[in-house]
Structure 1
Amino acid sequence: MSTSQPDASRQPEDRATPDSVLHARTGTDVSPEDLVLASGKDLTPQNLEWARRKLDEEGPSALDKILP
Protein backbone atom coordinates (compact mmCIF):
# COMPACT_ATOMS: atom_id res chain seq x y z
CA MET A 1 0.00 0.00 0.00
CA SER A 2 1.38 3.39 -0.98
CA THR A 3 1.90 6.06 1.66
CA SER A 4 2.62 8.91 -0.74
CA GLN A 5 0.81 12.18 -0.32
CA PRO A 6 -1.58 13.07 -3.17
CA ASP A 7 -0.49 16.72 -3.16
CA ALA A 8 3.17 15.81 -3.21
CA SER A 9 2.77 14.03 -6.54
CA ARG A 10 1.10 16.97 -8.29
CA GLN A 11 2.96 18.40 -11.23
CA PRO A 12 3.13 22.18 -11.91
CA GLU A 13 0.92 21.77 -15.00
CA ASP A 14 -1.91 20.58 -12.71
CA ARG A 15 -2.28 24.07 -11.25
CA ALA A 16 -5.21 26.29 -12.17
CA THR A 17 -4.80 28.79 -15.00
CA PRO A 18 -4.38 32.36 -13.70
CA ASP A 19 -7.30 34.71 -14.38
CA SER A 20 -5.04 37.08 -16.31
CA VAL A 21 -4.48 34.36 -18.94
CA LEU A 22 -8.12 33.33 -19.35
CA HIS A 23 -10.20 34.79 -22.17
CA ALA A 24 -13.97 34.73 -22.47
CA ARG A 25 -14.18 35.31 -26.21
CA THR A 26 -12.50 33.62 -29.15
CA GLY A 27 -12.20 36.78 -31.22
CA THR A 28 -15.45 36.17 -33.07
CA ASP A 29 -18.43 38.48 -33.13
CA VAL A 30 -20.75 38.35 -30.14
CA SER A 31 -24.40 37.90 -31.03
CA PRO A 32 -27.38 38.91 -28.90
CA GLU A 33 -28.11 35.19 -28.54
CA ASP A 34 -24.62 34.64 -27.09
CA LEU A 35 -25.17 37.38 -24.54
CA VAL A 36 -28.60 36.09 -23.50
CA LEU A 37 -27.37 32.52 -23.08
CA ALA A 38 -24.24 33.60 -21.19
CA SER A 39 -26.41 35.55 -18.77
CA GLY A 40 -28.47 32.43 -18.04
CA LYS A 41 -31.67 33.87 -19.48
CA ASP A 42 -34.12 32.29 -21.90
CA LEU A 43 -34.10 33.28 -25.57
CA THR A 44 -37.18 35.47 -25.57
CA PRO A 45 -37.84 38.57 -27.70
CA GLN A 46 -37.51 40.76 -24.60
CA ASN A 47 -34.17 39.25 -23.59
CA LEU A 48 -32.85 39.49 -27.14
CA GLU A 49 -33.77 43.17 -27.23
CA TRP A 50 -32.00 43.67 -23.89
CA ALA A 51 -28.91 41.98 -25.34
CA ARG A 52 -29.01 44.13 -28.50
CA ARG A 53 -29.14 47.30 -26.40
CA LYS A 54 -26.32 46.08 -24.18
CA LEU A 55 -24.15 45.21 -27.19
CA ASP A 56 -24.88 48.61 -28.75
CA GLU A 57 -23.81 50.35 -25.53
CA GLU A 58 -20.85 48.19 -24.48
CA GLY A 59 -19.80 46.29 -27.58
CA PRO A 60 -18.38 42.75 -27.38
CA SER A 61 -16.92 43.46 -23.93
CA ALA A 62 -20.49 43.10 -22.59
CA LEU A 63 -19.95 39.33 -22.78
CA ASP A 64 -16.67 39.57 -20.87
CA LYS A 65 -18.45 41.42 -18.07
CA ILE A 66 -21.06 38.66 -17.72
CA LEU A 67 -18.79 35.64 -17.80
CA PRO A 68 -16.66 34.78 -14.78
Structure 2
Amino acid sequence: MSISEPEPSLPPSERVTPDELLHTRTGTEVSPEDMVLAAGRDLTPRNLEWARRKLEAEGPDSIEKMLP
Protein backbone atom coordinates (compact mmCIF):
# COMPACT_ATOMS: atom_id res chain seq x y z
CA MET A 1 0.00 0.00 0.00
CA SER A 2 1.44 3.37 -0.92
CA ILE A 3 1.51 6.34 1.40
CA SER A 4 -1.15 8.17 -0.63
CA GLU A 5 -3.70 5.37 -0.24
CA PRO A 6 -5.78 5.44 2.95
CA GLU A 7 -6.16 2.31 5.03
CA PRO A 8 -9.46 0.53 4.45
CA SER A 9 -12.01 1.19 7.18
CA LEU A 10 -12.89 -1.59 9.57
CA PRO A 11 -16.53 -2.50 10.09
CA PRO A 12 -18.04 -0.71 13.13
CA SER A 13 -18.17 -3.94 15.14
CA GLU A 14 -14.38 -4.21 14.90
CA ARG A 15 -13.74 -0.55 15.82
CA VAL A 16 -15.67 -0.61 19.10
CA THR A 17 -13.84 -1.54 22.29
CA PRO A 18 -15.66 -4.42 24.02
CA ASP A 19 -17.29 -3.42 27.30
CA GLU A 20 -15.23 -5.87 29.38
CA LEU A 21 -12.05 -4.04 28.30
CA LEU A 22 -13.35 -0.65 29.43
CA HIS A 23 -13.42 -1.54 33.12
CA THR A 24 -10.55 -1.67 35.56
CA ARG A 25 -11.68 -4.43 37.88
CA THR A 26 -9.82 -7.68 37.41
CA GLY A 27 -11.64 -9.65 40.09
CA THR A 28 -9.11 -8.62 42.72
CA GLU A 29 -9.79 -6.48 45.77
CA VAL A 30 -9.67 -2.73 45.33
CA SER A 31 -7.35 -1.24 47.94
CA PRO A 32 -7.45 2.27 49.36
CA GLU A 33 -4.18 2.85 47.51
CA ASP A 34 -5.90 1.92 44.23
CA MET A 35 -8.67 4.42 44.95
CA VAL A 36 -6.24 7.24 45.77
CA LEU A 37 -4.20 6.66 42.63
CA ALA A 38 -7.31 6.36 40.43
CA ALA A 39 -8.45 9.73 41.78
CA GLY A 40 -5.11 11.25 40.79
CA ARG A 41 -4.21 12.06 44.38
CA ASP A 42 -0.99 11.59 46.33
CA LEU A 43 -0.67 8.65 48.73
CA THR A 44 -1.00 10.54 52.00
CA PRO A 45 -2.61 9.38 55.25
CA ARG A 46 -5.48 11.83 54.70
CA ASN A 47 -6.16 10.59 51.17
CA LEU A 48 -5.92 6.94 52.24
CA GLU A 49 -8.51 7.59 54.95
CA TRP A 50 -10.76 9.25 52.35
CA ALA A 51 -10.40 6.16 50.15
CA ARG A 52 -11.17 3.77 53.03
CA ARG A 53 -14.37 5.68 53.80
CA LYS A 54 -15.35 5.76 50.12
CA LEU A 55 -14.80 2.01 49.77
CA GLU A 56 -16.86 1.33 52.90
CA ALA A 57 -19.71 3.57 51.76
CA GLU A 58 -19.82 2.75 48.03
CA GLY A 59 -18.02 -0.57 47.66
CA PRO A 60 -15.23 -1.56 45.28
CA ASP A 61 -17.23 -0.66 42.15
CA SER A 62 -16.86 3.00 43.12
CA ILE A 63 -13.43 3.00 41.44
CA GLU A 64 -15.21 2.65 38.08
CA LYS A 65 -16.98 5.97 38.62
CA MET A 66 -13.68 7.82 38.85
CA LEU A 67 -12.07 6.48 35.72
CA PRO A 68 -12.92 7.45 32.14
TM-score by length of 2: 0.77
* Letter paired with 2:26: T
Q: Note the aligned Cα RMSD (angstroms).
A: 2.2
- 5+ unaligned residues in a row in structure 1: which ranges? none
Partner of 1:23: 23
- Deviation, 1:32, is 0.2
Identical pairs, percent: 62
2:5 corresponds to: 4
1:64 maps to 64
Q: How many residues align?
A: 65
Q: What are structure 2's unaligned runs of at least 5 residues?
A: none
Supply the AA of the counterpart residue of 2:6. Q
* In structure 2, C-alpha distance between the alignment counterparts of 1:16 and 1:39, rounded to whole Å: 26
Which is helix-richer, 1 or 2? 1
Partner in structure 1 of residue 49 of structure 2: 49
2:32 alignment partner in structure 1 = 32
The offset of 1:15, in angstroms, is 1.7
